[in-house]
Amino acid sequence: MKNKQISRRKFISTISVGTGSLILASSATASVMKPSSDPFQQITLGKTGIKTSMIGFGTGYNGGNRECNMTRAGKEKGIALIQHAYDRGIRMYDGADLYGTHPYIAEALKSKPREDYVLVSKIWVRPGGIPEPDRPDADVVVDRFRKELNSDYIDILQIHCMVDQDWTDEQKKQMDILQNLKEKGIIRSHGVSIHSMDALNACVTSPWVDIVHTRVNAFGDAMDDKDPDTVLSTVKKIHDAKKGVIGMKLIGNGNFRNTSEKIEQSLSYVLKSKAVDMMIVGFEEPWQIDDYASRVENALKSINRS
């Protein structure tokens, strides 16, 4: 039997030198994929199949009682800001009942193809935060959300601000309702936004959790533990369990928004971890989107070089 021959040109095309990644296909050929430094590159959230941009827009900075900095600045400015974010490449828009920004998101994106962006919202089950009578079951709330967002479906639906270690028991009814909505295609995924280490730890083993919003930065500001490594160790377990991870409070809830060195350290810390799929930021001005994108790009370039 004759030995199979391979040309020098074909052989060279199958190898990579330097920082490229070598991916072997079943056909025994190989292709080169260089790490991307695009701040708006597409990522996939866990096992959900949901793909979106690495940078997302958190619309509820300083939010509560269906108000936030965006609503206080006025609808015209908020809509223009979301549209600028879309033009730059942001494809995730993070809302909640708590923020009052659903109409802003809907208006800003009404001319965009629905399949091109990801909508996030969150139901509020805790005391305060929204008018007290407005706490029907999740199916009723999600139906209202869809009307407010002018969308037949919501990509990511979270239970907002969980702090108790036994939240998976306390919220079982709402979890079951959300699971039913996912099976019907009304939502594509469900999970929680977390505000304590106890609640975060519960996400590791919960089979119900698809995606987690977690507070993470390099300094422990506005996080579930003052030691960022303590938080990140649990986040890595969540990520290793194939759950999507959305990082928030990367600039300490704005605490070091004017300190370039801290912003850059925090971005590097989170991106190097490989445990956070994407980051949401509460932008208030167009230049902040441009500046943040540039910082993420520089951080990725530095990480890729190393």
Q: Tokens representing 301?
A: 């370039």
280: burial class by Cβ within 10 Å (0-12, 13-18, 19+)? Answer: buried
Compute φ and ψ for 93, nearest 5 degrees: -125, 115
Burial string for 30-62 (b: 16+ CB within 10 Å, else e) reads: eeeeeeebebbbebebbebebebbbbbbbbbbe
Q: What percent of the chain has pLDDT over 90?
A: 86
Residue whose C-alpha is closest to residue 235's, from 190, 197, 189, 191: 197
pLDDT level of residue 211 (50, 70, 90 thresholds): very high
In a domain, 57, yes or no: yes
Q: Tokens representing 26?
A: 């079943």
* Residues paired with 31 in a beta bridge: 23
In this predicted structure, what is the pLDDT of residue 9? 46
In a domain, 163, yes or no: yes
Q: List, as one string, the DSSP characters of 149-167.
A: HT-S-BSEEEEEEE--TTH
In a domain, 101, yes or no: yes
In this predicted structure, what is the pLDDT of residue 90? 98
Q: Which residues contact 305 (CB under 8 A, 6 or more apart)?
A: 19
In a domain, 291, yes or no: yes
- 103 has a pLDDT exceeding 70: yes
Least confident interval from 6-20, 138-152, 212-226:
6-20
Q: What is the CATH number of the domain that holds 155?
A: 3.20.20.100
Distances (CA, A) of 232 to 87, 218, 236, 292: 32, 10, 6, 22
Reported as a single tens digit per residue, the pLDDT across 21-53 is 333 334 444 445 678 999 999 999 999 999 999
In this predicted structure, what is the pLDDT of residue 132? 85
Give the three-class secondary structure for 64.
strand
Q: Tokens representing 149?
A: 């967002």
Mean pLDDT of the chain: 91
In a domain, 34, yes or no: no
In a domain, 6, yes or no: no
Mean pLDDT of 261-289: 97
Distance, in Å, from the CA atom of 193 to the CA atom of 97, rounded to the nearest integer, reads 13
In a domain, 36, yes or no: no
Q: Using the structure block, give the residue that is written with the tokens 């239970």.
A: 159
| CA 94 to the chain's CA centroid | 8
pLDDT level of residue 99 (50, 70, 90 thresholds): very high
Q: What percent of the chain has pLDDT over 70?
A: 89
Reported as a single tens digit per residue, the pLDDT across 132-160 is 888 899 999 999 999 999 999 999 999 99
- Stated as kind and residue range, the H or E segment containing 100 is none
In the chain, how many domains are there?
1
In this predicted structure, what is the pLDDT of residue 20? 41
Residue whose C-alpha is closest to residue 192's, from 213, 164, 215, 176: 213
Q: Tokens representing 154?
A: 């919501």
- 194 has a pLDDT exceeding 90: yes
CB 275 within 8 A of CB 269: no
Give the Cβ contact number of residue 219 at 10 Å.
17
Domain that holds residue 65: 42-305
In a domain, 169, yes or no: yes
Distance, in Å, from the CA atom of 267 to the CA atom of 292, rounded to the nearest integer, reads 10
CB 266 within 8 A of CB 247: no
- 11 has a pLDDT exceeding 50: no
